[in-house]
């Protein structure tokens, strides 16, 4: 998605070979217009999949997921990272380790919001090692529902997440795919590069 790649080049900060900081438009300050376009793009890419629900994780997944929910006209559920006092229902849970934050969280979704016949689109801001997405897949499967696909805003393609998810037969659509953060620069995987790789 060209608009997103341009935004990453312009406002993303490469902290080191593994970390791209995008807190000026995605995960602290949010560019609502960009999120609107991101939501529209997810809706286009997953049109025809019969999606009935979107599942994401608090907090950075919420903006892109809600915009996608608007264009796909389906409810959005965000998994909570710990149980709140008012989230006392029967829960779907999974544990997820974040390498970026070096912490393990238990994710929880109220079971009543994911039904057996749901076709779920999982959305998240980043895909790196795939731990968060795998935890969401596990929860959706535990509800007896199916995962129609995984929509990612920024994929760090040099980390194994995308590959792991695809090996499980899951459709992954990442709007920006980063080949490398070496030398302080963002290099995207372009369609042309992909032809050469394959």
Q: Please list every residue from 21 through 40 that binds a second copy, using CB under 8 A.
A: 21, 23-25, 28-33, 35-36
Query: At closest approach, how far in Å is the CB of 37 from a second copy?
Result: 11
The answer to whether residue 161 forms part of the interface with a second copy (CB under 8 A) is no
* 86 contributes a contact to a second copy by CB under 8 A: yes
Cα–Cα distance for residue pair 78/166, rounded to 1 Å? 23
Closer to a second copy by CB, 25 or 46: give it: 25
When asked if residue 10 is in the footprint of a second copy (CB under 8 A), the reply is: no
Assign 3-class secondary structure to 38-64: HHHHHHHHCCCCCCCEEEEECCCCHHH
Instruction: Please report how close the Cβ of residue 133 comes to a second copy at its closest, in angstroms.
Output: 18
Residue 122: Cβ-neighbour burial (10 angstroms; 0-12, 13-18, 19+): buried
Closest to a second copy by CB, 145 or 165: 145
The owner of tokens 């809706």 is 43
Q: Which residue has the tokens 């369609």?
A: 191
Q: Does 189 bind a second copy (CB under 8 A)?
A: no
The contact pattern for a second copy, residues 108-127, with x = CB under 8 A and - = no contact, is -xx--x--------------
Length of the chain: 198
Specify whether the CB–CB gap between 10 and 44 falls below 8 A: no
Under 8 Å between Cβ of 149 and 46: yes
- Residues forming contacts to a second copy in the complex (CB under 8 A) are 15, 19, 21, 23-25, 28-33, 35-36, 58-59, 62-63, 66-67, 69-70, 73-78, 80, 84-87, 100-102, 109-110, 113
């Amino acid at each position: 998605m060209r608009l997103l790649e341009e935004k990453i080049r312009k406002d993303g900060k490469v902290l080191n070979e593994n970390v791209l900081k995008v807190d000026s438009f995605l995960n602290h300050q949010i560019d609502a217009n960009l999120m609107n376009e991101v939501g529209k793009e997810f809706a286009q890419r997953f049109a025809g999949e019969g999606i009935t629900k979107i599942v994401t994780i608090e907090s950075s997944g919420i903006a892109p997921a809600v915009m996608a929910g608007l264009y796909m006209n389906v409810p959005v559920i965000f998994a909570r990272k710990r149980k709140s006092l008012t989230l006392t229902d029967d829960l779907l849970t999974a544990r997820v380790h974040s390498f970026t934050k070096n912490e393990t969280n238990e994710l929880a979704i109220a079971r009543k919001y994911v039904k057996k016949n749901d076709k779920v689109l999982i959305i998240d801001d980043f895909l790196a090692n795939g731990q968060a997405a795998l935890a969401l897949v596990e929860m959706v499967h535990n509800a007896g529902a199916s995962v129609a696909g995984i929509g990612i805003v920024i994929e760090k393609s040099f980390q194994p997440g995308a590959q792991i998810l695809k090996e499980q037969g899951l459709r992954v659509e990442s709007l920006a795919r980063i080949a490398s953060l070496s030398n302080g620069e963002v290099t995207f995987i372009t369609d042309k590069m992909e032809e050469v790789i394959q």
